[in-house]
Amino acid sequence: MKREFSNEQIRTKKTHEFIPQNTDTIIERKIVRYLIQHWKGKLSLAKSFWINFVLFSILLTVQIAFYYAIIKICVISLSLPNLISTTFSYLLMLIALIIYVWQITGIWRCCLNYMKLGKKFQALIVMVIIELFVLLSIFTIISKYKITNAKIDKEKNYKYSITIVDNATKIHLVGDIKKGLSKNIKNTLKSNSNITGIIIDSYGGSGLEGYKLAKLIENNNLNTYVSSICESAGTIAFIAGKERYIDINAKIGFHYAYSVLDYPEVYNLTRWDIFPFKKTKNKTDEYQLQHISKYGITKDFIKKLRDHKSLDLLYPSTDELLNSGYIHGIKDIASISDIGVKYKNRIKANELNIKAMQLDRDGNQEEAIRLVSKVIELVDDKANLYFNRAVYNKKIKQYEPMILDLTKALELCDESDDFDIKLFIRILDFRNYAYFNLEQYDKALEDMNAIIKMDTLHATYYHKRGYVYAFLDSFSLAVKDFSKAISMDSTRAYYYFGSAVNYYFMKKYTKSLEDANNCLKCDDDDSNFIIYFVRGKTLFELQKFQEASQDLEKYISFEQDDNPPYLMLAAINYKLKNYKQAEIYFTKANSLKNNDIDVKWDEDDYEWNSTLLKSILEEWGKL
């Protein structure tokens, strides 16, 4: 009987014949052997570099880009969670990293083997190329990390709210288009079956999320509405509505659709941060225009949007929106929700505020104050309005109502969730001015102390506090603040001026003279001409009568109606024994309307006594 061999038997003892193995198994073994040989550096350098590195890298890049594009399309079209695309992206990155390590390690070992064989030239060239490639890869990873973080930081402050309005038939979206919004809208639709539309009031946000929301709106046959404003990414979602309506006061705003590669500065990045991702053509804007055009928008309107190559917003008129097919009509959308009513009030308030500003420019502050008072009744954000009304009161020197408005503005700033420290400091600064003019110097000092506690970088605040100290007769503290201001900015004439005056009152005449000289060095156009009077008095105290006389004459050439300089010139001429000239100056001083110094000219006794000097200094304090 003939013996039969089983299929599992590989060979017999007699014939030593081999039974053919599976072809797939042979190929798999060859691939594994090839991968191991490259890893150990046993392949030729040409094969390791050109095939395993260059060709594999090109194929890998193309394949990863293809898979990433597929998953991105699926995420948008099927409204899949962002977690899917994120997970897939990380998986692709892991695969790429494994292949990358395999490539680099194999080539490097191959180069080392070649060097052992004395083929150093080829090996060194390839090693240099690999080193540069590794450095570029590290730079690319760092750039990608920066770009990703910049996007996250930009979206971190995005906020939105979703409410059900109009007898539970509409969703009202207010705020930013941010990651996760479409998922929340989808859940809202599931739990509210009577919803037929969505009101989108948004300044924009994430473009990707805008497309996902658009797909959701389209799949659920929702109408879209705008009660106030819809801009940027908000327009991507709005256009997907079955029917599209806006309020008579609503605005639709478009801008050039950009990515981080177009305007890195928007994301606080530099051109070097995006260098590895060199941009050749902006596909973001074209993709958005294709998205809009598929909803039956006219070609002329699409062309207008395509030609608008700017981040500045383009607001087409209502007629343009209607004629282009972008909207189907106008409806009273604002009355549907409280937010819409507030927006209507804000539009009216804005119109009144513009009129108030024009009245202020025309010098009619009383009417401007009346209009701003109406505006305050219409809107919630009142801190700026109280501040504006205070500014108008300042111009007509109504300091008490000015203080009331500024105090209210400070309270509102303090209560605000979004505390504006710059506005807070500015309000304090204006209230300090009002207190100062009402001679409430203690309260003015409190405001200046509060300002400097929050802002130590601006010399002007030390300068202003210095004057408050001066009027509280705290001359040494005043000098300290003026010196601080000068140390921060030595180009301001009025800082030296304040210091010179206070040194004079402290009877430190040499220091007063030094700062007066510095003041005049900074003041080339003599705009701060009163410093001649200060320096003239200082020189008089230092017994430099001739120089003092020159400064006082200079001051009189600018200001001829003040009697103190004439009295001082009379005294100086007496000291210099120019008695006739002294009498002329004294007569001139007594003839001036603002003369309230009680002195008498005694032809037998021209002595310049301390009582007269004190009177002149008191008169100086009123200037």
Tens-digit pLDDT profile for residues 3-31: 554 554 444 444 444 445 566 677 778 88
Mean pLDDT lowest for which of 335-344, 385-394, 485-494, 504-513?
335-344
Share of the chain above pLDDT 70, in %: 80
pLDDT digits (tens, 9 = 90+) for 371-420: 999 988 887 668 888 999 999 999 999 999 999 999 999 999 888 777 78
Q: Round to whole Å and give the CA distance between 430 and 381.
A: 20
Spatial neighbors of 286 by CB under 8 A, at least 6 apart, are none
* Of residues 270, 284, 268, 282, the one with CA closest to residue 149: 268
Q: Round to whole Å and give the CA distance between 68 and 88.
A: 8
pLDDT digits (tens, 9 = 90+) for 187-202: 999 999 899 999 999 8
Cα dihedral value 36, 37, 40, 44, nearest 10: -150
* Other residues' Cβ atoms within 10 Å of the Cβ of residue 10: 11
Give the chain's mean pLDDT: 81
Q: Judging by beta carbons within 10 Å of its beta carbon (0-12, 13-18, 19+), is residue 477 exposed, middle or buried?
A: middle
- pLDDT reading at 526 higher than 70: no
pLDDT digits (tens, 9 = 90+) for 152-201: 555 666 788 898 988 889 999 988 888 888 889 999 999 998 999 999 99
Average pLDDT on 61-66 reads 77
Q: Report the predicted TM-score, pTM, of the whole model to 2 decimal places.
A: 0.52
**pLDDT category of residue 277 using cuts at 50, 70 and 90:** low
Average pLDDT on 35-54 reads 88
- pLDDT reading at 604 higher than 50: no
In DSSP terms, 201 is beta-bridged to: 174
Give a three-class secondary structure readout of 158-217: CCEEEEEECCCCEEEEEECECCCHHHHHHHHHHHCCCCCEEEEEECCECHHHHHHHHHHH
Average pLDDT on 444-470 reads 92
Q: Round to whole Å and give the CA distance between 343 and 198.
A: 17
DSSP 376-405: HHH-S--HHHHHHHHHHHHHTT-HHHHHHH
**pLDDT category of residue 581 using cuts at 50, 70 and 90:** confident
* Other residues' Cβ atoms within 10 Å of the Cβ of residue 312: 8
**Tokens standing for residue 494:** 């009025």
